[in-house]
Structure 1
């Protein structure tokens, strides 16, 4: 049933706030590395692990959480995620060493795993056609817009109140989201699957991701040619082969590979992973500006003002482009534009004033691309999915966001760390930032291959259109 206007607006605000607990506040860690390092006295390598763990654990558990939300209810799953968010923030606030910080970051990852697929499914169950695309645009304000705002808002809070206050504010936002969502009707699959959960596939997948993440984040410390690193690489390959051999024989796969038979869904998921990988390399630019150019967290955040505005504006523009020209064109354009923007921050040979201007413009251009991508990609991922699989399908889609961001951070910071040990900080930052090309080129090719030009087009009035099952 179509959500009534007042209830719909309340629901959208609550959902956006829930999404912000991860994409704005939890992700603020990418801009406060020097402050946290000085306060807790932990190594840069440990901090990089703590930063990437939230996205990693979100990616590890988000598919399972999406499937669970189909069964127990998407509203209930959102509430569970918000409770996890509060607990994770409390652990980080009271942390005096790396242990509680890392545990808190893991709990925040579990929070995101519950919230992301459940809120997308709530949107699909409550809105139709153009209204669904509009609601997904506002959902994207919380995800991509929140991610774009994290450096500015998190940096301002960290600079003037202390970095721990970021997570105090996040608790308040989570409580407000719970209040706004309390009257929202529950949504769940009418005929939930009775198949048992694939624990074997889940465990294999967790080990694969953990081993790969350890290789990327600790390979430099272990030594890239050391027996331990080579053993981890061999173990990762063996686990991946085992995973596919085991899963292909099952009907209750942990990752439902049948969803990828829909090329548009496949294109949305893979490109979403790559686009988040591109965006994640900004952590190197933020760190470089503070360490090499002497900026505070807040000053670094000010450089992203244009990015925030561009993301927010272009999300609705992307929605209109989707309706008028389909999903493929804006998705291809967005990846190309965001790559150009992020790459501009790699021009570290420029003097201070010129570099800062280039960084500001680069962040703004990247925001245009990211905002343009959000709604076409999200709508493409959910529009063709049946009711009983929308939670798990949304989980896989958001898993690609979290893992893309996690591996983007891990790979770019690893390259930066390796290079800074053998050369100067300027060259190291350039190398770390340009890692975004490893994500951009496959994304462009895959979108062109899998997304049909007519995907997402809106021709008829809403009242005359066939509504997808939900």
Structure 2
């Protein structure tokens, strides 16, 4: 079957895989640019929009390991199709949301379903690429798949802005449904694949539930803390709940024979370093939601005009992703990971210059997003290789699952933290008095401009910490491919 598929119809199935990953990276990610529009039209609070934006990544991160394991047991094609069905339902929930009291629960439900969809699609599509193709055909397939994920993410803000401005934001999710249906059609003859010797997969439901409660408590504390009051009883209970359940999770997983999260992998210094760096660099995704929300609220940009600022992000990440791979082959993984992190830090510093006039800031933003994409491109392949190449073959599957989990959880919490800071400070009545006579031009939007500085400071911290961790925990030749 494999050789037949390699020679016949491979482009049709590959196209189906690319469309499948785009349902998350292009369409679901679009909320980072259209949040202000949705908040106004639906009558949903900005904090709730922040939760909705990060919820998809949070659910994807939590469930990607368990659904990847389930796919190995009952069939990867089956779970991939399930992911596309979930994408259709989740997108319809959001596209058809009425304004009013039902808007909030429908929005959050739709985003959770989109996250579960991604948890189904990402591990199965990547796994099937490695099974259905071989040699140069496999490298080609993985390159196109990577362009779907990185390119889709880079274009999501621009795409969302164009559609929302010209057709309305609901059409983004209508198009997502259409793309998912086309993907299902292209993959209708996809052969089933599973591990014949893996036995029946038994998800660690107790571990998953404890971890989910911990993450949701932390998410609510980050996004709703300013509304509740940081020292209120509710906030204190949320942070205590997150800490206690995480401690319970840690000790439960240490003693469990059926791991949801194999903690023993973190005894590997290189793997743990790469995972931490991956989490921190994905947390830098908050740079997008903060900068685009700033331009729409403080400069009255349309979603389309704001999205155009991110064009360099998409172009640079696609152009330079192979550069990161080549650097890793020559000098190892550590330097490209450090350089990539520092480039993202530089991009963040440029976006923090909100005291300037909007014309100058627009130029800074165009340069910054180009650097942001370049930094991610330098970082991506070396980090993945450093994490997985230093594990024994029998642990590679579990390691890949944790690496992908770190990506999604990092993005989810990075967005939640930076957006939460932005929302809290922008509503402060004291903001105008904090830095008088520093901001050029209009003075009625200082609260938004100051909020962006403080929110982007968190992103800067994530990028700098990633550089430090990579410098100390990734060996000089980590991930380097040496020809023998």
Is the pair's TM-score, using the shorter chain for normalization, greater than 0.5?
A: yes
The alignment's C-alpha RMSD in Å is 2.4
1:127, distance to aligned residue in structure 2 (A): 5.3
1:19, distance to aligned residue in structure 2 (A): 1.2
Equivalent position to 1:446, from 462, 466, 469: 469
Matches for 1:309-388 after TM superposition, within 5 Å: 309-383=315-389
Matches for 1:100-119 after TM superposition, within 5 Å: 100-119=106-125
1:407, distance to aligned residue in structure 2 (A): 0.7
**1:308-366 Cα shifts (integer Å, max 9, x gaps):** 11011112222333333332222221111122113311110011111100011101111
Note closer, same or farther for the CA distance 1:195–1:145 as it changes in structure 2 (3 Å cut). Answer: closer
Note closer, same or farther for the CA distance 1:132–1:104 as it changes in structure 2 (3 Å cut). Answer: same
- With 22-31 and 58-67 compared, the bigger mean Cα shift is at 58-67
**Normalised by the size of structure 2, how large is the TM-score?**
0.89
2:222 and 2:420 in contact (8 A); partners too: yes
Q: Does residue 428 of structure 1 match 2:430?
A: no
Q: Distance in 2 between matches of 1:350 and 1:308?
A: 25
Equivalent position to 1:162, from 143, 157, 168: 168
- SS of the counterpart of 2:95? helix
Q: Distance in 2 between matches of 1:5 and 1:432?
A: 51
1:401, distance to aligned residue in structure 2 (A): 1.5
Equivalent position to 2:73, from 63, 71, 74: 71
1:250, distance to aligned residue in structure 2 (A): 1.6
Equivalent position to 1:291, from 293, 297, 308: 297
Q: Distance in 2 between matches of 1:178 and 1:267?
A: 38
1:226, distance to aligned residue in structure 2 (A): 0.9
Q: Unpaired segments of 5 or more residues in structure 1?
A: 466-470
Equivalent position to 1:83, from 85, 91, 105: 85
- With 161-170 and 132-141 compared, the bigger mean Cα shift is at 132-141
Q: Does residue 237 of structure 1 match 2:243?
A: yes
- With 250-259 and 374-383 compared, the bigger mean Cα shift is at 374-383
Q: Does residue 414 of structure 1 match 2:416?
A: no
Residue equivalent to 2:440? none
1:124, distance to aligned residue in structure 2 (A): 3.4
Q: Distance in 1 between matches of 2:10 and 2:322?
A: 18
Q: Distance in 2 between matches of 1:376 and 1:83?
A: 33
1:53, distance to aligned residue in structure 2 (A): 1.3
Equivalent position to 1:397, from 381, 396, 403: 403
1:19 and 1:142 in contact (8 A); partners too: yes
Q: Distance in 2 between matches of 1:336 and 1:130?
A: 33
1:182, distance to aligned residue in structure 2 (A): 3.5
1:450, distance to aligned residue in structure 2 (A): 3.5
2:253 and 2:263 in contact (8 A); partners too: no
Q: Distance in 1 between matches of 2:78 and 2:392?
A: 20
- With 286-295 and 275-284 compared, the bigger mean Cα shift is at 275-284
**1:10-52 Cα shifts (integer Å, max 9, x gaps):** 4443322211111110010010122112221111111111111
Note closer, same or farther for the CA distance 1:190–1:263 as it changes in structure 2 (3 Å cut). Answer: farther
Note closer, same or farther for the CA distance 1:200–1:239 as it changes in structure 2 (3 Å cut). Answer: same
Q: Does residue 47 of structure 1 match 2:70?
A: no
1:134 and 1:319 in contact (8 A); partners too: no
Matches for 1:298-313 after TM superposition, within 5 Å: 298-313=304-319
Q: Distance in 1 between matches of 2:404 and 2:387?
A: 10
1:278, distance to aligned residue in structure 2 (A): 0.8
- SS of the counterpart of 1:4? helix
1:259, distance to aligned residue in structure 2 (A): 3.0
Residue equivalent to 1:282? 288
- SS of the counterpart of 1:402? helix
Q: Distance in 1 between matches of 2:390 and 2:196?
A: 17
1:274, distance to aligned residue in structure 2 (A): 0.9
Note closer, same or farther for the CA distance 1:426–1:442 as it changes in structure 2 (3 Å cut). Answer: same
Q: Distance in 1 between matches of 2:411 and 2:96?
A: 26
Note closer, same or farther for the CA distance 1:337–1:175 as it changes in structure 2 (3 Å cut). Answer: same
Q: Distance in 1 between matches of 2:350 and 2:149?
A: 23
Residue equivalent to 2:233? 227
Q: Distance in 1 between matches of 2:235 and 2:18?
A: 41
Note closer, same or farther for the CA distance 1:257–1:317 as it changes in structure 2 (3 Å cut). Answer: same
Matches for 1:87-236 after TM superposition, within 5 Å: 87-96=89-98, 97-126=103-132, 135-194=141-200, 196-236=202-242
Q: Distance in 2 between matches of 1:453 and 1:139?
A: 29
1:383, distance to aligned residue in structure 2 (A): 4.7
Residue equivalent to 2:443? none
Q: Distance in 2 between matches of 1:257 and 1:362?
A: 37
Q: Distance in 1 between matches of 2:45 and 2:471?
A: 42
Q: Distance in 2 between matches of 1:411 and 1:308?
A: 24
**Normalised by the size of structure 1, how large is the TM-score?**
0.91
Q: Unpaired segments of 5 or more residues in structure 2?
A: 432-446
Note closer, same or farther for the CA distance 1:363–1:211 as it changes in structure 2 (3 Å cut). Answer: same
Residue equivalent to 1:468? none
1:268, distance to aligned residue in structure 2 (A): 3.1
Q: Distance in 2 between matches of 1:198 and 1:186?
A: 24
- With 84-93 and 374-383 compared, the bigger mean Cα shift is at 374-383
Note closer, same or farther for the CA distance 1:81–1:99 as it changes in structure 2 (3 Å cut). Answer: same
Note closer, same or farther for the CA distance 1:126–1:383 as it changes in structure 2 (3 Å cut). Answer: farther
Note closer, same or farther for the CA distance 1:148–1:254 as it changes in structure 2 (3 Å cut). Answer: same
